[in-house]
Amino acid sequence: MWSSRLFWKLFGSYGFLSVGTTILFVTVVSQWQQEQIVNQIKIRLHDAAVLVASDILDELVLERAESLQTQLLRLRQKLDTRITLVNLDGIVIADSDRVSVSDVLQMENHRERPELRAARLQGQGTAQRRSSTLEKPMLYFAIRVDKNQEPAGLVRTALPMTRVNQQISSITQVLWVAAILVNLAVAGLTFFLSAHVMEPIAALTKSAQAIASGNYTSALRVKRQDELGTLANSFNLMSEQFSAREQQLRESNQRLEAVLGGMAEGVIAVDERDRVILANAAAAELLGFTMADVESLSLLEVVRHHMLQQLVTDTRATESLQRAELEVHSGSENRRVLDVQSTPLPDTSPQRVILVLHDVTDLRRLESMRQEFVANVSHELKTPLSSIRAYAETLSAGAVNDPEHRGTFLHRIEEQADRLNNLIQDLLSLSRIESGRQTYDIATVNVADIVTTCIAENQGAANLKRIHLSCSDIQQDLRIQADEEGLAQIINNLIGNAIKYTSEGGEVTVVLRQQESTICMDVRDTGIGIDEEHLTRVFERFYRVDKARSRELGGTGLGLAIVKHLAQAFGGNVTVTSQPTKGSTFTVQLPVT
């Protein structure tokens, strides 16, 4: 409290007002008291002059100087007042401050003395001036003495101003002592009252500083029934309300952060100067920046994409929702496609803008794959259908009656129909697997038994091309959790694919082995091999390394895609290694039961 400027201002103001009022009061009272003393002395001088006039009237008329001088000396001792008798011409007849008449006669003419002139003309007169005779300030009172209604002379009484000033000084000293004592009492009372007022104000100030720093728990304990007590109670209530509102805001922000953090969509809000004021983790991931980068930076500094900045500008200019699809490159992703909606925030001028970013990369890739799939399916279906149509038209044109070629054409139609049927069956199977509608009878199966069965089923096709199909290093009791038909389809597709792309006299070998908790099944061939540039795409639908050769061999282009999806459905994967002209090795890895 002692360091409070308000306390010293309050105390100083009261003190200054008290001192100023006291000085003014003492000055006014002193002036008034001086006037009262002077008036009392004037009355005294008047009474003395009247008394003297009544005693010396006859002698004054006769101007008996000796007698008058004697009487004035006597009256001086009695009245303690200087007395002067002057005739109407201003000649001094007697003076109580002179010893003899000869001294009186040496006095100058008093006709023009202001108090005597006023008395001569008006009956009485007063003056406060310096006496030229005594050389000191005096207070004079003069009256005109009349006899038979005719002026007979003038009687003047006087007192030195030193005596008047002594009375005034003594009274003034008393006033100043009293004023100082009163001021000291007022100062003490003012100090007490200022401290009494400042105590709750200091508490309010301390509490306000605590609230400003975010501490709303410091309650004021002011036991007063006046306005300061009411203010303290209101301040406590305000602090509680601030605390409650801060808690609500904190909870609201936490909910907002949780919502924004859990959103797959990116959200960015920019202010009127295009500075980023809010961004969630999804936006940072989609656009390739970190959350620490956004502080006090503009959108263009955070995300160097001019189309995004232009979208914000257009939104603010049109005051309506804007939408655009942007391609960005960020992080480890080579490319992302974002659908961005830019919306102006209401009740802000100039308007703030919020951006919502949807990652449509997979959607656009799926659309592209769908378009490619439709084109591939159309092309794959068109080829056998065109062949069937051509052979049918040839037969209709008369070849049906040609025994030599009829059988050939019918055989070709049957081959293309089988190819068409295989394609449709593979498409249906792949569609069910990819969509998750394929049901599996998951059970513990012996992989070696299934491999042996599949080799036997493909032995005929291998014999037709004089290909040596065999198995090596097969461990018999290797079991996994899988669907038996699905696992058989994986093995048959890989063996069949190896036979198709292996020349006559080549070899296809199946190796079954266990590595820790994984069963590895290798299908090796000595076929034409695959160039490195194609290895990453051989498991795509309808992808063929040599399209003409694949169609010639009757492949649908879906076998390896089915193998990949089935292996993934059983918790495994499939890989390939190959050297052109030397052969390929497809490896399926499945977890052990």
Dist. CA 176–CA 376, nearest whole Å: 118
pLDDT value, residue 549: 47
Collapsing DSSP to helix, strand or coil, 67 comes out as helix
pLDDT value, residue 271: 87
Collapsing DSSP to helix, strand or coil, 241 comes out as helix
Tokens representing 426 are 């593979």
The DSSP string of 488-544 is HHHHHHHHHHHHHTS-TT-EEEEEEEEETTEEEEEEEE-SS---GGGTTTTTSTT--
- How does pLDDT run across 437-462, given as a tens digit for each residue? 566 678 888 888 899 999 999 999 89
470: Cβ contacts below 8 Å, ≥ 6 apart? 455, 507, 508, 509, 510
Q: Please count the other Cβ atoms lying within 10 Å of the Cβ belonging to residue 573.
A: 13
Contact 97, 88 (CB under 8 A): no
- Say how many residues make up the chain: 593
Tokens representing 372 are 């490619």
The DSSP string of 71-90 is HHHHHHHHH-SEEEEE-TTS
Give the helix, strand, coil percentages of the chain, each rounded to 5.
55, 20, 25
Burial of 466 (0-12, 13-18, 19+ CB in 10 A): exposed
Between 468 and 478, residue with greater pLDDT = 468
Contact 572, 589 (CB under 8 A): yes
Mean per-residue pLDDT over the chain, rounded: 79
Dist. CA 109–CA 93, nearest whole Å: 10
pLDDT value, residue 347: 72
- How does pLDDT run across 500-535, given as a tens digit for each residue? 889 898 999 999 888 888 888 899 999 888 888 888
In Å, what is the CA distance from 414 to each residue of 7, 43, 224, 390?
A: 112, 160, 108, 13
What are the two backbone dihedrals, phi and then psi, of residue 9, each rounded to the nearest 5 degrees?
-65, -45
Residue 109 confidence class, pLDDT cut points 50, 70, 90: confident
Is-above-0.75 flag for pTM? no
39: Cβ contacts below 8 Å, ≥ 6 apart? none
Give the residue-averaged pLDDT of 241-258.
Answer: 81
- How many CA atoms are closer than 13 Å to the CA of 259, on its beta-carbon side? 7
Between 293 and 342, residue with greater pLDDT = 342
- How does pLDDT run across 537-553, given as a tens digit for each residue? 888 776 766 554 445 55
79: Cβ contacts below 8 Å, ≥ 6 apart? 48, 51, 52, 157
Dist. CA 541–CA 214, nearest whole Å: 63
DSSP-assigned letter for residue 275: B
